[in-house]
Amino acid sequence: MKKFFQNWMSLGLTDRCERWPFQTSGGKFPLSQLAAPKSRSERDEGGRERAGVRESRWDENAVRFAGLLVILSVLVLAGCTMIPKYQRPTADLSRSWPAVPGYSNAPTVAARVPAADIGWRDFFRDARLRQVVEMALTNNPDLEAAVMNVAQTQALYHVQALALVPTVDLNANGSRQQVLNVFSGQNTNSGASSLTYTEYQANLGVASYELDLFGRVRSLKRQALESYFASREAQRSAQIALVAQVATAWLTMEEAQEQYAISREMLNAARQTFNLTQRSFEAGVASQFDLNNASTQLQSATAAEAGYAQTSAEAADNLTYLVGKPLPAELQPPRRLDPNVCLSDVPAGLPSDLIERRPDILEAEHQLKAANANIGAARAVFFPTITLTGSAGFASTSLEQLFVPGSEAWAFSPQLVWPIFASGTAYQALKSVEAAKKAQAANYQSTVENAFREVADALAVRATVQSQLGDDEALVKADQQSYDLTQAGFKTGVNSALDLNVTLQTLDSARLNLIQIQYSRLVSLINLYQALGGGWNENTVQSQESAKE
């Protein structure tokens, strides 16, 4: 086409006024009124001049079109990545929570206010416990480490995101060197002349900026973003676990203190029983078997008292560790159990709600998405990598003349690297990240199943503990009546002191079991609250539906 235009212009076909007469209303335009016709050589010379102008315009348009085509291609490729389409693994969850054999199961319905939205200030009703939880959230070192991990992954994400933007550096340097003057014409063996060269430079430069045509950098940016999201969910998991651990430790300390007080009563009763039995044995009333039995009970009571003292001390140490500082005296747990220390019931909701509300499940999913993004980066390695290096500034052999007009200098160096013999390494790297994604998918499914199990276990405890609590309360009531009757008989002389101590030990043993089941009920509520994702919000989050009601 270009050659055709050149021939067409060189023949003078565009000069219609020289080859064809003009048509007017009166007929043909007389050629005599025109200028004298040019010679053939003049016409050829003029045609070549016009052809040169058109040829230069053709070259300019072709360059512009090619540049536009390159820019459009870069923009199209810049919007593409090789990250596989993400699909959440299917979780085979039941539509209802499993029932405990022999116990009625509450219907599985959507909660009006999900447990994850209930604030821990509303869940815990004891003011002292709320203050202790607040101290732990402020001073606990493990939670602080989780917060710093979020800050670290956030900074790493910004670092990876900035890789899409060229880095501009200011460079200033000077050099002086002596080199062989190869243009002097002298024999190098007989001592050639040398040349001393001095150079000063000051410029702004871009070093090795990668054109992300195949999405490698953006895939790594996506991976860093998902890692940041995962760290945020890990922080939520750490806080939820800390809230539950502090409340459990606080109740454990309270339970241990109450059990220790009862164990001391049991120890005193066992010691009195042993002394009375020993006197009866010395008087010939009691047998050796009765004395040995009283001695065994005394030793058991002594060991139990020491065990509860140890448990109480360990619970206090654990609570101090979780809070991050010793508790003030006014925040110590009470000596007696408060059954209303927390909410008496927690809505379980639907099993499918766990996927959206448990932070450990969300963390596992973000880790899976990060592994999926790594596949895109591994795939991009199979394609060319284009890097740009350039600088613009000043250069001179004299420092005084560095910034004068005419000392401008620039350099531009694009580079394309396409792996040919390293494809085996890239292939194995791709297989590695694909295997890592499968491992993360398995981890996600395991996390979902574990969350379902934890909620099911907590619901099973809640369903059975109330029945156990009723039985133990009835047993304590019956033993209390037996002790009262024995004590009345002892005052009238019907029952001996030994009978009174035996019934007291039986009552104290039943009281220990009752305390244990009472605290088990409270701990099961806390565990259920944690298993459902509660403990992240400080105050209850009201949904739009509940707010309208």
Domain ranges of the chain: 115-165+217-382+421-548
Question: Which amino acid would we find at residue 140?
Answer: N
234: closest CA among 302, 149, 295? 149
Residues 6+ apart with CB under 8 A from 248: 523, 526
Q: Are 195 and 395 in contact (CB under 8 A)?
A: no
pTM comes to: 0.76
- Chain centroid to CA 484: 60
Select from 262, 467, 265 the least CA-distant residue to 475.
Answer: 467
Strands 408-417 and 194-211, sheet pairing: unpaired
For residue 194, what pLDDT is reported?
77
Task: Please report the pLDDT score of residue 21 as a whole number.
Answer: 37
DSSP strand pairing (194-211 vs 168-180): antiparallel
Fold of the 115-165+217-382+421-548 domain: Outer membrane efflux proteins (OEP) (1.20.1600)
pLDDT, position 425: 87
Contact (Cβ atoms closer than 8 angstroms) between residue 9 and residue 54: yes
Distances (CA, A) of 249 to 118, 241, 388: 21, 12, 60
Q: What is the pLDDT along the chain (549 residues), one digit of tens a residue?
A: 444 334 433 333 333 333 333 344 444 434 344 344 455 455 455 555 554 544 555 456 555 555 555 554 554 445 578 899 999 988 777 777 877 776 666 666 666 788 888 999 999 988 899 999 999 999 999 999 999 999 999 999 999 998 888 888 999 888 888 877 766 655 555 555 778 888 888 889 888 888 888 889 999 999 999 999 999 999 999 999 999 999 999 999 888 888 888 888 888 888 888 888 888 888 887 788 878 888 888 898 899 889 989 988 998 999 999 999 888 888 887 767 777 788 777 878 778 788 888 999 999 999 999 999 999 999 998 888 889 899 899 888 888 888 888 888 888 888 988 887 776 888 899 999 999 999 999 999 999 999 999 998 888 888 888 888 888 889 999 999 998 898 888 777 787 777 877 888 888 889 888 888 988 889 989 999 999 998 899 888 875 444 444
Q: Which residues pair with 169 in a beta bridge?
A: 205
231 Cβ contact list (under 8 Å, min separation 6): 146, 149, 150, 152, 153, 154
Confidence (pLDDT) at 65: 52
Q: Which residue is it, tokens 């994604």?
A: 437
Query: Three-class SS string for 262-331?
Result: HHHHHHHHHHHHHHHHHHHHHCCCCCHHHHHHHHHHHHHHHHHHHHHHHHHHHHHHHHHHHHCCCCCHHH
Residue pair 98/456 in contact by the 8 Å Cβ criterion: yes
What was the pLDDT predicted at 502? 81
8 Å CB contact between 432 and 426: no
Paired with 408 in beta bridges are 394
Distance from C-alpha of 437 to C-alpha of 234, rounded to nearest angstrom: 19
Closest CA to 368 of 315, 444, 424, 314: 444
Q: For residue 336, what are its two tokens?
A: 């007696």
